[in-house]
Amino acid sequence: MATQVFPSYRIFTDATADLNTALQSGLPSIEVIPMEVQVGDAAYTYGPHGNLMTDAFYQMLREGQFASTSQINPQTYRKAFEKALKSGYDVLYICFTSGLSGTINAARMCIAELKAAYPQRKILCVDSLAASIGEGLLVHEAARLQAAGLSIDELAQWIEQHRLQVCHWFTVDTFAHLKHGGRVSAAAAAMGTILNIKPLLHVDEQGKLQAMQKPRGQRQALRKLMEYLEAGWLPDISRRIVIGHGNCPNTAASLADMITSRFPEAQVIIADIGPIIGAHAGPGVLALIYFGNNR
């Protein structure tokens, strides 16, 4: 009987990655660090053992509330990482993009302290330059390669080489939350709403959000998403294509049908976009994530 080889390191990510069952099934355990979300005047925790579910979160937004998020503090990182270190594992943390959050600074501060306390252990932090299910897809592929036998250093190098091939294209249904977060002006939001514009955005090479096009109506927005996929998808890296949605499953299913009709070899996963990104994009956000050459 063959001896099962267990990995000598643990992969960590944060709740921003929106990992669902399909993105974790059959892979080594991925440790997810929870994050704090405030909706209205109430504070919640999103992630493992948290008290905020995605459906309930979007229902509160649809009822007119707004949400904000907080960075992970160094103490939370220490509690998570130290458990693995004490058990004899090295740590590889794949972090929410530095282009949208400063939480990576808290992680690096914690890691510097832990390296001094555990000099025999290796602790690596890699900026994903990705968000939500884009980060989730990168973490999924990392876990798959860990299972295939890559060392912690080899895997960190692979992530840095391929993270800019994770293409994020998404559209929002309402301007309210972009306006509330200061990402669009009140005048632009009002005009966009009148014209039924579904702005098309992407995550750029610095891991920041950039507006690209202004399709009018949902049908045109879906066509634009498909155009980007057709132009840039690289199935040789991964056949996984992830559709993320903010409480709009029917729209996500429509996009999935379009993809499988055009690319029957694609492995399409539909996943919720959780509160960390949903707080800024609002209900109705729809994202298309794939490995490609047109980030």
The answer on pLDDT for 203 being more than 90 is yes
Is the distance from CB of 275 to CB of 52 less than 8 angstroms? yes
Per-residue pLDDT at 175: 66
Annotation: CATH topology of 9-35+72-163: Rossmann fold (3.40.50)
Could you give phi then psi for residue 143, rounded to 5 degrees? -65, -35
Alpha helix positions (H), 37-99:
54-62, 74-86
What angle is formed at CA 116 by the lines to CA 110 and CA 120, rounded to 5 degrees? Answer: 115
Q: What are the residue ranges of CATH 3.40.50.10440 in the chain?
A: 9-35+72-163
For residue 67, give both structure tokens: 């949400």
d(CA 149, CA 289) in angstroms, rounded, equals 26
Q: Which residues are CB-neighbours of 196 under 8 A, at least 6 positions away? A: 216, 217
Distance CA 79, CA 112 (A): 14
How would DSSP label each residue in 124-191?
EEEE----HHHHHHHHHHHHHHHHTT--HHHHHHHHHHHGGGEEEEEE-S-SHHHHHTTSS-HHHHHH
Query: In which residue ranges of the chain is CATH 3.30.1180.10 found?
Result: 165-291
pLDDT of 243 strictly over 50:
yes
Please determine, for residue 6, whether its predicted confidence score (pLDDT) is greater than 80: no
For 95, phi then psi, to 5°, come to -100, 150
- The tokens of 101 are what? 């959050």
Yes or no: domain 165-291 corresponds to CATH 3.40.1350.10: no
Going by C-beta distance under 8 Å and a sequence separation of 6 or more, which residues neighbour residue 18? Answer: 132, 133, 135, 136, 244, 271, 272, 273, 274, 276, 277
Rounded average pLDDT over 258-267? 98
Q: What is the pLDDT of residue 5?
A: 46
CA distance 70 to 284: 22
Which has the higher per-residue pLDDT, 87 or 189? 87
| Residue 210 CB neighbour total at 10 angstroms | 11
| Confidence category of residue 181, pLDDT binned at 50, 70, 90 | low
List the single range of 10-24, 116-130, 180-194 with lowest mean pLDDT: 180-194
Q: Which of 75-84, 86-95, 112-121, 170-179 has the lowest mean pLDDT?
A: 170-179
Contact yes or no for 114/122 (Cβ under 8 A): no
3-state DSSP call for residue 211? Answer: strand
Distance CA 148, CA 139 (A): 14
Name the average pLDDT for the chain.
91
**In whole angstroms, what is the distance from residue 225 CA to residue 168 CA?**
10
Q: Is the dihedral of CA 209, 251, 272, 128 positive or negative?
A: negative
Which helix (H) or strand (E) is 271 found in, with range? strand 267-272
